[in-house]
Amino acid sequence: MDLSAINPVLLFASLMVAATPVLIAAIGELVVERAGVLNLGVEGMMITGAICGFAAAVTTGSPLVGFIAAAAGGAGLSLLFALLTQVALANQVASGLALTLFGLGLSALFGQNYVGLKPPPTARLDIPVLSDLPVVGRIVFGHDPVVYFGLLLLVAVWAFLKFTRAGLVLRAVGENHTAAHALGYKVVRIRVLAILFGGACAGLGGAYISLVRVPQWTEGMTGGAGWIALALVVFASWKPWRVLLGAWLFGGVTVLQLNLQAAGLEIRAEYLSMSPYLVTILVLVIMSGHRSGSPGSLGRTFHASQ
């Protein structure tokens, strides 16, 4: 065993990369859930984003176009969910699971011609001087733009929910849709917008995997990241900053596990792989002591005549 081989700076830098896809997807899902909707189709939207982004980037040669297409693809798929749950008033749990099944199939079908291709590289930010700083340079200034986008998105969502009137309305809809409706807010319209935002975020998170983290296209390549994103939202008890903490913890456990193995430490990989889920459960239990802030109308169907 040689733990000295583990470089904490690189470890932290990798952790940020590993955390980015689930972070972005989880921020989206957080907004959806704060609006009172439980969309379990994150995995399906992520994989759809992964292939849409990949296809667009390969075709146009531009990663930026790829990410935009990914957001559009994820939002497009989430529109189906919105139609089902907000217009046809179908059950959200079942619709979300069906969405994942559909997204996995659709992406595999669509992606058949994109196997074995290499996407255009997404440049790493390389600021002279700053990126060369010891420690800080690599952790803070050495990433690709999407990592920073994820962090900015987090700040933006936090500010939106906390300080804006629109954010307040969104939370009101999520807490008690009947009351919000009585106050004259368009519950369905707000929820549809939130769902679309969630879909776009999931799509972006998926594209980060296919365009930056791997980068290639393979069927089912998101490998359960969507479920982790769902877990993160609860782990964070619906608070944006804790999503970041959770994403880093998840990413950290993943990267640390690999590092410990590579350093020759005798650990049981399967027990380490379990730990993020067990930690989430533990956090849920601890949080329950305080008012955990689960949106009051989460997962409930709304119809104006009620």
Partner 1 sequence: MLRLEKRPQPSKTLSYVTPVLAVLITMVAGGALFAALGKDPVVAIRTIFWDPLFGQFAFYYLPQLLVKAGPLILIAIGLSLGFRAGIWNIGAEGQYILGAIFGAGVALACYPLEAWWIFPLMVIAGAFGGFLWAMIPAILKVRFGTNEILVSLMLVYVAEQLLASMSIGLMKNPDGYGFPGSRNLQQYPSAHNAELIPDTGLHWGVVAAIVVAILAYILLNRHILGFQIRLTGEAPRAARFAGVKPPRLVLVCMGTAGALAGMAGMFEVAGPAGQISAGFNTGYGFTAIIVAFLGRLHPFGIVLAGLLMALTYIGGEAAQSALQLPGAAIQVFQGMLLFFLLAVDLLTNYRIRLTKRETA
Partner 2 sequence: MHMKKRTFLAGAASAIGVSAFGTVSAMAQDKKVKVGFIYVGPVNDGGWSQHHHESALAMVKALGEDKVELVEQDNVPEGPDAERAMTQMALNGCDIIFATSFGYMDPAMNVAKKFPKVKFEHATGYKTADNMACYSARFYEGRAIEGTIAGRMTTTNKIGYIAAVPIPEVVRGINSSYIHAKKVNPDVEFSVIWLFTWLDPAKEADAARTLIEQGCDVILQHTDSTAPLAAAQAAGNVIGFGQAGDMIEYAPKPRVASIIDNWAPYYEERVKAVADGSWETHNVWEGLSTGMVKIGEITDAVPAEVKKEAEDMIAAISSGAYHPFTGPLNKQDGSVWLKEGEVADDGTLAGMTFYVEGLKGDVPS
CB of 289 to partner 1, least distance (A): 7
What distance in Å separates the CA atoms of residue 22 and residue 203, rounded to the nearest whole number?
A: 11
What distance in Å separates the CA atoms of residue 173 and residue 32, rounded to the nearest whole number?
A: 11
Task: Give the three-class secondary structure for 210.
Answer: helix
Please report whether residue 116 would count as binding partner 2 according to CB under 8 A: yes
Site string for partner 1, 46-85 (x = CB under 8 A): ----------------------------------x--xx-
CB of 13 to partner 1, least distance (A): 26
| H/E run at residue 279 | helix 269-287
Please report whether residue 218 would count as binding partner 2 according to CB under 8 A: yes
Pick from 65, 79, 151, 214 the residue near partner 2 by CB under 8 A.
214
Please report whether residue 271 would count as binding partner 1 according to CB under 8 A: yes
Provide the token pair at 76. Answer: 């497009």
Q: Which residues in 144-155 are b (16+ Cβ under 10 Å) and which e?
A: bbbbeebbebbe
Evaluate whether 272 touches 257 at the Cβ level (below 8 Å). yes
Please report whether residue 167 would count as binding partner 1 according to CB under 8 A: no
Within a 13 Å sphere around the CA of 215, how many CA atoms are in the beta-carbon half?
A: 19
19 binds, among partner 2, partner 1, none (CB under 5 to 8 A by kind): none
The residues near 96 (Cβ < 8 Å, ≥ 6 apart) are: 38, 39, 40, 41, 81
Is the four-CA dihedral 98, 99, 100, 101 of positive or negative sign?
positive
234 binds, among partner 1, partner 2, none (CB under 5 to 8 A by kind): partner 1
What distance in Å separates the CA atoms of residue 57 and residue 236, rounded to the nearest whole number?
A: 33
Closest CA to 28 of 201, 238, 230, 248: 201
Q: What is the DSSP letter of 264?
A: T
Site string for partner 2, 13-52 (x = CB under 8 A): -x---x----------------------------------
Please report whether residue 131 would count as binding partner 2 according to CB under 8 A: no
What is the separation of C-alpha 257 from the centre of its chain, rounded to a whole number of angstroms? 21
Please report whether residue 259 would count as binding partner 2 according to CB under 8 A: yes
How much is the CA Rg of the chain, to the nearest whole Å? 20
Evaluate whether 154 touches 23 at the Cβ level (below 8 Å). yes
Please report whether residue 5 would count as binding partner 2 according to CB under 8 A: yes
Q: Which is nearer to partner 1, 62 or 292 (CB)?
A: 292
Site residues for partner 2, window 167-196 (CB under 8 A)?
Answer: none
Binding site for partner 1 (CB under 8 A): 38, 40, 80, 83-84, 88-91, 93-95, 97-99, 101-109, 112, 219, 224, 227, 230-231, 234, 268, 270-271, 273-274, 277-278, 280-281, 284-285, 287-289, 292, 294, 299, 303, 305-306
Where does this chain bind partner 2 (CB under 8 A)? 1, 5-7, 10-11, 14, 18, 108, 112, 115-116, 118, 121, 209, 213-216, 218-219, 221-223, 225, 254-255, 258-259, 261-266, 268-270, 273
